[in-house]
Protein backbone atom coordinates (compact mmCIF):
# COMPACT_ATOMS: atom_id res chain seq x y z
CA UNK A 1 0.00 0.00 0.00
CA UNK A 2 2.85 2.36 0.83
CA UNK A 3 4.42 1.72 -2.59
CA UNK A 4 1.08 2.46 -4.26
CA UNK A 5 0.84 5.92 -2.64
CA UNK A 6 4.49 6.62 -3.42
CA UNK A 7 3.90 5.70 -7.07
CA UNK A 8 0.78 7.92 -7.30
CA UNK A 9 2.64 10.82 -5.68
CA UNK A 10 5.58 10.46 -8.05
CA UNK A 11 3.25 10.25 -11.03
CA UNK A 12 1.41 13.42 -9.99
CA UNK A 13 4.70 15.22 -9.47
CA UNK A 14 5.89 14.28 -12.96
CA UNK A 15 2.62 15.31 -14.59
CA UNK A 16 2.51 18.67 -12.84
CA UNK A 17 6.04 19.75 -13.81
CA UNK A 18 6.33 22.50 -16.42
CA UNK A 19 8.35 21.86 -19.54
CA UNK A 20 8.32 25.51 -20.67
CA UNK A 21 9.56 28.54 -18.80
CA UNK A 22 7.18 31.39 -18.02
CA UNK A 23 8.91 33.52 -20.66
CA UNK A 24 8.44 30.81 -23.32
CA UNK A 25 4.76 30.52 -22.44
CA UNK A 26 4.34 34.31 -22.67
CA UNK A 27 6.00 34.43 -26.10
CA UNK A 28 3.90 31.55 -27.46
CA UNK A 29 0.52 33.15 -26.71
CA UNK A 30 -1.45 36.36 -27.18
CA UNK A 31 -2.65 38.12 -24.03
CA UNK A 32 -5.71 40.19 -23.09
CA UNK A 33 -5.70 42.41 -20.02
CA UNK A 34 -7.64 41.20 -17.01
CA UNK A 35 -7.46 43.27 -13.87
CA UNK A 36 -4.94 45.25 -11.90
CA UNK A 37 -3.56 48.74 -11.57
CA UNK A 38 -0.60 48.26 -13.94
CA UNK A 39 -1.36 47.57 -17.58
CA UNK A 40 1.01 47.82 -20.51
CA UNK A 41 -1.70 47.57 -23.17
CA UNK A 42 -5.13 45.99 -23.66
CA UNK A 43 -3.57 43.27 -25.87
CA UNK A 44 0.00 41.99 -25.69
CA UNK A 45 2.06 39.90 -28.06
CA UNK A 46 5.65 39.19 -27.06
CA UNK A 47 8.79 38.31 -28.97
CA UNK A 48 11.93 36.69 -27.62
CA UNK A 49 14.14 39.14 -29.55
CA UNK A 50 14.04 42.97 -29.65
CA UNK A 51 11.52 44.31 -32.17
CA UNK A 52 10.74 47.89 -33.20
CA UNK A 53 7.69 49.27 -31.37
CA UNK A 54 6.99 45.93 -29.71
CA UNK A 55 7.40 44.03 -26.47
CA UNK A 56 9.99 41.33 -25.91
CA UNK A 57 10.96 39.21 -22.94
CA UNK A 58 14.43 38.35 -21.75
CA UNK A 59 14.55 36.16 -18.64
CA UNK A 60 11.84 37.69 -16.42
CA UNK A 61 12.02 41.27 -17.73
CA UNK A 62 9.63 42.74 -20.29
CA UNK A 63 11.12 45.35 -22.62
CA UNK A 64 9.60 47.85 -25.03
CA UNK A 65 12.00 49.45 -27.49
CA UNK A 66 14.87 47.94 -25.46
CA UNK A 67 13.78 49.73 -22.27
CA UNK A 68 12.70 47.57 -19.29
CA UNK A 69 9.04 48.31 -18.51
CA UNK A 70 7.79 45.40 -16.39
CA UNK A 71 8.61 42.12 -14.70
CA UNK A 72 7.04 38.77 -15.54
CA UNK A 73 5.93 37.28 -12.22
CA UNK A 74 4.23 34.06 -13.36
CA UNK A 75 2.37 32.19 -16.09
CA UNK A 76 0.04 29.60 -14.59
CA UNK A 77 -2.41 27.26 -16.26
CA UNK A 78 -6.01 27.51 -14.99
CA UNK A 79 -8.55 24.94 -16.24
CA UNK A 80 -8.48 25.86 -19.96
CA UNK A 81 -6.19 28.89 -20.31
CA UNK A 82 -3.00 30.50 -19.04
CA UNK A 83 -2.99 33.45 -16.68
CA UNK A 84 0.05 35.77 -16.69
CA UNK A 85 0.88 38.09 -13.82
CA UNK A 86 3.19 41.06 -14.41
CA UNK A 87 4.35 43.87 -12.17
CA UNK A 88 5.97 47.25 -12.49
CA UNK A 89 9.75 47.31 -12.24
CA UNK A 90 9.53 48.50 -8.63
CA UNK A 91 6.96 45.72 -7.89
CA UNK A 92 4.48 48.20 -6.41
CA UNK A 93 1.74 47.64 -9.03
CA UNK A 94 0.52 44.44 -10.70
CA UNK A 95 -1.74 43.34 -13.52
CA UNK A 96 -3.18 40.03 -14.71
CA UNK A 97 -3.46 39.05 -18.36
CA UNK A 98 -5.33 36.07 -19.82
CA UNK A 99 -4.14 33.92 -22.71
CA UNK A 100 -6.18 34.33 -25.87
CA UNK A 101 -4.73 31.79 -28.32
CA UNK A 102 -1.41 30.84 -29.80
CA UNK A 103 0.72 33.04 -31.99
| % of the chain with per-residue pLDDT over 90 | 63
Q: Check if the beta carbon of residue 75 is closer than 8 Å to that of residue 84.
A: yes
At residue 46, does pLDDT exceed 80? Answer: yes
Domain assignments of the chain as residue spans, ordered by start: 20-102
CA distance 41 to 24: 20
Residues 6 or more apart from 47 whose CB is under 8 A from it?
Answer: 27, 54, 55, 56, 57
pLDDT in tens, 29-43: 999 999 999 989 999
CA distance 5 to 21: 29
Predicted TM-score (pTM) of this structure:
0.76
Amino acid sequence: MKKYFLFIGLLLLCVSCKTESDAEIAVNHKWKVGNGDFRLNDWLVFSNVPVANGYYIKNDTIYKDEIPVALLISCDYHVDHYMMKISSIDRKRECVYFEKGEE
